[in-house]
Structure 1
Amino acid sequence: MENLILYTSSDLAKITNHRSGEIKFGEKMLTVPKNVNASSFLQECEAKYVLFGIPEDIGVRANLGRPGTHSAWESMLKSIANIQHNRFCKGNRILILGQLDVAKEMKKADEYDYQILENRLELSKLVVKIDKEVTHIICSIVKAGKIPIIIGGGHNNAYGNIKGTALAKGKSINAINFDAHSDFRILEGRHSGNGFSYAYEEGFLKKYFIFGLHESYTSKSVLDMIKKIDFRVKYNTYDSMKISMEKSFAEEMYVAMNHIKSDFFGLEIDLDALPNVASSAMTISGFSVEEVRHFIHYFGKSQNAAYLHICEGAPDLAEPKNSHLVGKLIAYLVTDFIKANYIEV
């Protein structure tokens, strides 16, 4: 884990607002102690959930999206550190491992104009480098018997999450993606729009369900591709549940669960699916915050839930006075997952 920047107890103390008579998550969450091997500590620590950040937006740029997703990790940390530690959810269930060191890649990415095709191909090469590091770290966390909670970054990181988990489990895994987009586009070089198709093509992704596709933003070629492999890749649309009302949200969650529940699965949440949340492909029409929270609770309850990935949030794209709200939203989603998934031993 040489490309991992460990989060320290002093880092945590700086962002925790202490208040008399209260106990905050920042006072209870674990960090890797100084001079202790991170891999060894992963094996030994009491925390079941491991927070890991990927502060990049290179995959987003390679996909012609708006940069800004690199800022979600830091924003989320400031929010989760100040959640109340109580009987509903306890901070010591979480180890803050740290963030991937992508400083060199981000600096290199600034040299490229992502509007130019040749430059996007160079960005894709940087994404491949990040893929390798994400795969290694996720594999290490899962092998240690922990559940990674990954905060992106772009949705390109789904590839490393899936591959790392599959390698640790010794078999391909399933995934469900709460998203306005399929991210199952052609294999044209790595970017945020094809993490799942690459994982599928390489045998790490077995079954895949896309929950809430926006009909107006899904190409005919992607729909045709999915139709050919619909025994393994299925979807529903936002429009069918919330506009024409042909399907119900609750029933569709049941359908999706039946598709993926037989094996370990990754739980992928793209904040582009929520209206007016600052993100790389911000929308004005989508599911509510309450619906995504319920979604995470529903799928998080399964003991086959192998990881949670929350991505595409971009606090840097929010209005300055409210830029903290993206981090606060992510902190809600993280604790919703833990509350649903955690079992007292």
Structure 2
Amino acid sequence: MEIKHWEYYEAANPQIWKGRVDGTTDDHLRWHQIIKCIDLKDNKDLSSYFILLGFACDEGVKRNHGRAGAEKGPEVLKKTLANLPVFSGENTKIIDAGTVNCQNGQLEAAQESLGFIIHLILKRGGFPIVLGGGHEITFGHYLGLKANYNKSIGILNFDAHFDMRKPQQQIATSGTGLYQIALLEKNIRYLPIGIQKISNTKILFDTARDHQITWIEAQDFQIANRSRIKKKIKSFIDSIDHLYLTIDLDVFAACYAPGVSAVAFNGIVPDAFFLEIFHFIISSDKLASIDIAELNPEYDCDNRTAKLAADLLFRLVND
């Protein structure tokens, strides 16, 4: 089985990591000058490193009748990250561990392989940062976390959608991941933030209620509700042992994130309030991993969406 999983894996490509060189001293460095590119088949200790792993897949988006193109997201996002400045010198430890590819539409196999690779990264002491790819990334990512942790895992999802659609004829899509996870768990621990009524049918709200899930709607995600929102997030994090943060870029308003599989014309604004909440979440010592989903470069005007994603990861690494 392990050999099968490696069939979907591709080692890191150093040629992606190119960019401007202002100098070679610590105060001149950019990510492309300090990144380490590895092959995970080599038994390398990953302790204290942030591990970038691509998930080049949009088969779930296609099955969900969304805009294809997100499979190119990981490569474009890595290229966008390449020119970010280094502020922590030797303390900035980042590894590109390559990419899990979805071959010939084999979504389920790709998700299993993603779970296998994430479990491997965690066992070796790394912190996974997974770059999508469609939001079918969630189920594979969760499989890796579940294989590694015996205690409760909470999922905090910035998303316009619940992603709790029941698979039709047992066919998974980018919109079924949380429903699939709910089938694995007696009590799914899930907090979606940025939900929009225009983007979810009534049955999805009912499904969330059936699983005792509460949520924060996009229209309520505003500074006037700061205290209530922070209290809700803190209560959620306090109730779990390990936190998995997934960010579907379609949670943001289209002017900030045009390059996604399903545009939200009036989504969350990535302003000072959002960044305050984001930092509040990533500062938790329970944070175990993170992923960025639905970056679709084919529709990304001026690389805005990729730059937004890169900014969030820059803040994570320098938090």
* TM > 0.5 fold call: yes
Q: 2:166 aligns with which of 174, 186, 199?
A: 186
| 1:54–1:100 Cα contact (<8 Å) kept | yes
Matches within 5 A, 1:47-58: 47-58=48-59
Letter in structure 2 aligned against 1:40: N
Letter in structure 1 aligned against 2:107: V
| 2:56–2:70 Cα contact (<8 Å) kept | yes
CA distance in 1, matches of 2:59, 2:300: 19
CA shift, 1:45, in A, is: 4.0
Letter in structure 2 aligned against 1:139: H
Q: Provide the secondary structure at the position in 2 that maps to 1:309.
A: strand
- TM-score if structure 2 supplies the norm length? 0.88
Q: 2:15 aligns with which of 11, 34, 42?
A: 11
Q: Can you list the C-alpha shifts for 1:130-149, whole angstroms capped at 9, x where unaligned?
A: 11111111111112122100
Q: Can you list the C-alpha shifts for 1:6-37, whole angstroms capped at 9, x where unaligned?
A: 114x4255x222223621111111222xxx76
Letter in structure 2 aligned against 1:199: I
Letter in structure 1 aligned against 2:61: V
CA distance in 2, matches of 1:305, 1:46: 15
Matches within 5 A, 1:1-345: 1-8=6-13, 10-13=14-17, 15-20=18-23, 22-32=28-38, 38-41=41-44, 44-45=45-46, 47-87=48-88, 92-102=92-102, 104-105=103-104, 109=105, 126-188=106-168, 189-203=171-185, 206-230=188-212, 233-242=213-222, 248-261=225-238, 262-276=240-254, 277=257, 278-290=259-271, 291-319=273-301, 322=302, 324-340=303-319
CA shift, 1:155, in A, is: 0.7
Letter in structure 2 aligned against 1:72: G
Task: Give the CA RMSD over aligned residues.
Answer: 2.2
* 279-288 vs 19-28, greater mean Cα deviation: 19-28
CA shift, 1:325, in A, is: 2.7
Q: Can you list the C-alpha shifts for 1:158-208, whole angstroms capped at 9, x where unaligned?
A: 011111111111344110101111001113221010101101211297310
CA shift, 1:229, in A, is: 2.4
CA distance in 1, matches of 2:187, 2:60: 20
| 1:53–1:150 Cα contact (<8 Å) kept | yes
Q: Provide the secondary structure at the position in 1 that maps to 2:188.
A: strand
Distance 1:82 1:128, change over 3 A: same
CA distance in 2, matches of 1:296, 1:90: 25
Q: Provide the secondary structure at the position in 1 that maps to 2:173.
A: coil
- TM-score if structure 1 supplies the norm length? 0.81
CA distance in 1, matches of 2:187, 2:161: 17
- Percent of aligned positions with the same letter in both sequences? 22
Number of aligned pairs? 304
Aligned partner of 2:3 in structure 1 is: none
Distance 1:90 1:185, change over 3 A: farther
| 2:138–2:178 Cα contact (<8 Å) kept | yes
Q: Provide the secondary structure at the position in 1 that maps to 2:215.
A: strand
Q: Provide the secondary structure at the position in 1 that maps to 2:29.
A: coil
CA shift, 1:46, in A, is: 5.2
* 274-283 vs 331-340, greater mean Cα deviation: 331-340
Q: Provide the secondary structure at the position in 2 that maps to 1:212.
A: strand
| 1:25–1:90 Cα contact (<8 Å) kept | no
| 2:57–2:101 Cα contact (<8 Å) kept | no
**Structure 1 segments of 4 or more deviating over 3 A?**
36-39, 89-92, 291-295
CA shift, 1:263, in A, is: 1.4
Segments of structure 1 that go 5 or more residues without pairing to the other structure are 110-125, 341-345
Q: Can you list the C-alpha shifts for 1:71-114, whole angstroms capped at 9, x where unaligned?
A: 22112111211111123x76842111011133x32xxx4xxxxx
CA distance in 2, matches of 1:204, 1:98: 34
Q: Provide the secondary structure at the position in 2 that maps to 1:286.
A: coil
| 1:179–1:211 Cα contact (<8 Å) kept | yes
Q: Provide the secondary structure at the position in 2 that maps to 1:289.
A: coil
Q: Provide the secondary structure at the position in 2 that maps to 1:225.
A: helix
| 1:39–1:140 Cα contact (<8 Å) kept | no
| 1:196–1:205 Cα contact (<8 Å) kept | no
